[in-house]
Structure 1
Amino acid sequence: MSERRRGRAVSDVVAFTLMFGIILTSVGLVATFGLAELNSFNEHQKIENADRTFELIARSFDELEESQATVRTEAIELGGSSITVEESSSLTVTVRDTDTGTTHTESFPLNTLQYEVDNRLIGYENGATYRVRTNADGGIINRDPGLVCSDGQAVLSLVTIRAEEDRYISGSGTLRITGRLNDSSLLYPVSDTDVGNASAADQVDLQFTFSGESRAREWANHFDRAPGDWSVTSQTDTSVTVRCGASEDLDHVYVRRSIIEVSYS
């Protein structure tokens, strides 16, 4: 074989080796970073879909609260995630007449319908929807609850979530979530003419208390930016207290509590 042919053969081998190496490197990069990007995209889509589903759930539960229906059903794709009713929050409502010093107090559980995907929790609690990271500081109330404090009036719609069965659902496929209105009662006013009527109050305090994954920070941030005469009066890692009627006395106070039973199918 001539020197020219031998050199050409060596060049072909080197070129082939380099090209093969480039192909292997490209495949490795695509496999490493492409799959990571694909997994990140899928995770983002699951979270966005869950956000939209919980917005629908909140609207359906609003209809139950307002007695527009007695039963409402929505569906969510589990996709390897889980959902449950967590008994992890409670509320104490104190209606105060500052002129007479009288108070009316009610305490009850709120609980939360909560969906867990990777390290995020998406849920419905007291008329609101939220998204938080587990064991982290980041979180937000996505949808405002039915709590109005403006023009000298407090109109507060409070919601307790209960599970018909103590079930933690996980896996894949579509899960149907059904809410049923169990009870709706007026907590305040408690009478029309005596102490406890709608106009015999100046301030309302709401104390949210949490166990497990706390959402005190998210609720405090919500009330800091909420329209109306709200103020955060105290906050710890596991509780937050807010006041309606912080800057001026209220003329009328109405507090209603609804109980919604949740079941799965």
Structure 2
Amino acid sequence: MRRREKSEAGSAPDTNRAVSDAIGFTLMFAIIIVGTGLISFAGGTQLSTLSDVEEVRSAERGMESTAATLHPMATQGDRQRSFSIAFSNSNVWMNATVLNVTTRDGSVDYSDLQVNALQQRFDRSGDDVTVRYEAGGVFRTNAVPAFDPSFECRSGSSETALVTVVNLTLAERDGLYVSNGYNSDLRFDELAGNSESPVTSTDESLTFEARLVDSEQSLTEGSVVVNTTQTAGPEQWGMYFDDQGGWDNLTDNVYECSADQTLVRVVTIELDIIEPRFSG
């Protein structure tokens, strides 16, 4: 009887230990599963964010290439060029924007010059990002210009202002429209070239033909004033002028170069989509 009682008394700790080990294993397994899920979620979010950033950077580089392509047309009189813009999960469109360029003596008066902006818009859940070519420069939301426009205020024995404004227009045909602000119905990626099918794939691009259709310039004495209030991004224009030497910020979005001589050149370039191009 004593041996039996001793044997029964000794089995209780073994049973409790087994139960404790089972519970511990279950908890550890659950922690591993939850931890793995959290790491996977965080890693997926990070990859998504990095992908979004790279898309915008790629678009910015593409728009810089566009600006470099159009620059000789504005400054050297090249008659025709072509360039491409990849969609990269974005919407491509033309925004109706206005720049005001006048001289103090009144001889130059572009008070409502519709320059228009070629824009690429990325939807980011309310925090959208736009990369655009406007009046010769490349700008991005909340960033310094990626490609400077040609608004020079040179100092020396006599101060000189050299202003070159690129005015974009679109060929007159179906599918190409300038929009007053973003309009999802007037995106270039909805109807590209002569194709009747909407272009929506992320690995496709539009090929544009650019033609120089007009160029005029005025040389005058005295200072020049630039008002960027009606551009697509006065804040980014402000960053540009603040970084340039010689330009005085008179009031919000208004800048002056107090020059002895001013040369203002306005170049009009017409864009047409000549083909959708598919990479795969």
Shorter chain as denominator, the TM-score bin is 0.7 to 0.9
Match of 1:74 among 84, 95, 100: 84
Distance in 2 (CA, whole Å) between partners of 1:157 and 1:255 is 6
- Displacement of 1:177 in angstroms is 3.7
Q: Percent identity?
A: 22
Give the Cα–Cα distance (whole angstroms) in 2 for the partners of residues 7 and 241 of structure 1.
82
Which residues of 2 match residues 103-118 of structure 1 at below 5 A?
A: 103-106=107-110, 107-117=112-122, 118=124
2:263 matched to 1:243? no
Q: Spell out the pairing of 1:41-190 with structure 2 (5 A cutoff).
A: 41-65=50-74, 66-68=76-78, 70-76=80-86, 78-87=87-96, 89-97=97-105, 103-106=107-110, 107-117=112-122, 118=124, 119-132=128-141, 138-151=142-155, 152-164=159-171, 165-166=176-177, 167-170=186-189, 171=200, 172-188=202-218
Residue matched to 2:244: 226
Contact conserved, 1:64 with 1:72, CA < 8 A, in 2?
no
Residues in 2 aligned to 1:69 and 1:185: alpha-carbon distance in whole angstroms: 11
Structure 1: runs of 5+ lacking an equivalent = 133-137, 189-197
Q: What is the DSSP-based 3-state SS (H/G/I as helix, E as strand, rest coil) of the residue aligned with 2:149?
A: coil
Report the residue type matching 1:157 in the other structure.
Answer: T
The residue identity in structure 1 corresponding to 2:236 is E
Aligned equivalents of 1:184, 1:40: Cα separation in 2:
43
Give TM-score, length-normalised by structure 1: 0.78
Q: Distance in 2 between matches of 1:5 and 1:144?
A: 79
Distance 1:93 1:79, change over 3 A: closer
- Could you say if the C-alpha distance between residues 112 and 219 of structure 1 is closer, same or farther in structure 2, counting changes exceeding 3 Å? same
- Within 1, Cα distance between the matches of 2:250 and 2:241? 11
Decide which structure has the larger Cα Rg and report it: 2
Q: For 1:157 and 1:28, locate their aligned partners in 2 and report how far apart those are by CA, in whole Å.
A: 56
Could you tell me which runs of 5 or more consecutive residues in structure 2 were left unpaired when the two chains were aligned: 1-7, 178-185, 190-199
Letter aligned with residue 109 of structure 1: Q
- Aligned-partner Cα distance in 2 for 1:257–1:177: 25
Q: Which amino acid aligns with 1:67?
A: G
CA contact (8 A) 2:73 2:212 kept: no
Aligned residues: 233
Instruction: State the Cα distance separating 1:157 from its structure 2 match.
Output: 1.1
SS in 2 for 1:141: coil
Give the letter aligned to residue 141 of structure 1.
P
Which structure's residues are more often helix, by fraction? 2
TM-score (normalizing by structure 2):
0.75
Q: Is the 8 A contact 1:187 1:257 kept in 2?
A: yes
Structure with greater proportional strand content: 1
Aligned pair in 2 of structure 1 residues 15, 263: CA closer, same or farther (>3 Å)?
farther
SS of the aligned residue for 1:144 comes to coil
Query: In the TM superposition, what whole-angstrom CA distance separates every residue of 1:233-263 from its partner, at most 9, and x where no partner exists?
Result: 221xxxx221122xxx41x322211122233
Runs of 4+ with deviation above 6 angstroms: none
> 1 CA distance for matches of 2:210 and 2:49?
36
Moved more, 46-55 or 31-40: 31-40
Superposed CA RMSD: 2.3
